[in-house]
Structure 1
Amino acid sequence: MIQIDRASSRYHADYGWLKTYYSFSFDEYCDPNNVQFGPLRGGNDDFVAPLAGFGAHPHIEMEIVSVKGVFAT
């Protein structure tokens, strides 16, 4: 069965430079029943402010995929 989780139903965090909607438990959001889907551990919708972003930090055995898009606000 396919389940659609719209952004409005997911956990939202606003750090000023970053607005994000978490698909799985991440950072301060913890839902033991929603940790991952198979090997997929994250799937956030992140909106990063221009000239801002994450500093360098290590990840082991992880691939990060970014998709750039233009969204109306």
Structure 2
Amino acid sequence: MIIEFSQGKIIATVHEVVVRFSALPAVNLSAHTDALTLMARGANVVIANGAECKWSIKLDDEAQLLALADHLGIAITK
């Protein structure tokens, strides 16, 4: 699944999420799905916090967060 947002693209599989930035084509963020937390509360943030990664990005809207949660099977923290 590919979700386009204002800063680039999120490429999600059942095992991994990769974020590619439009403005910084040489920069990619990746994380295993076990390390992800999806936070709503109007923030619409994807948080990666694991042994090998620590990053977060803000999505444009809740629809993108819902699509990602649905594809990955991860509950959204409200």
TM (norm. structure 1) is 0.29
- TM-score, structure 2 as length reference: 0.28
Q: Which has the higher helix share?
A: 2
Whichever of the two has the greater Rg, that structure is: 1
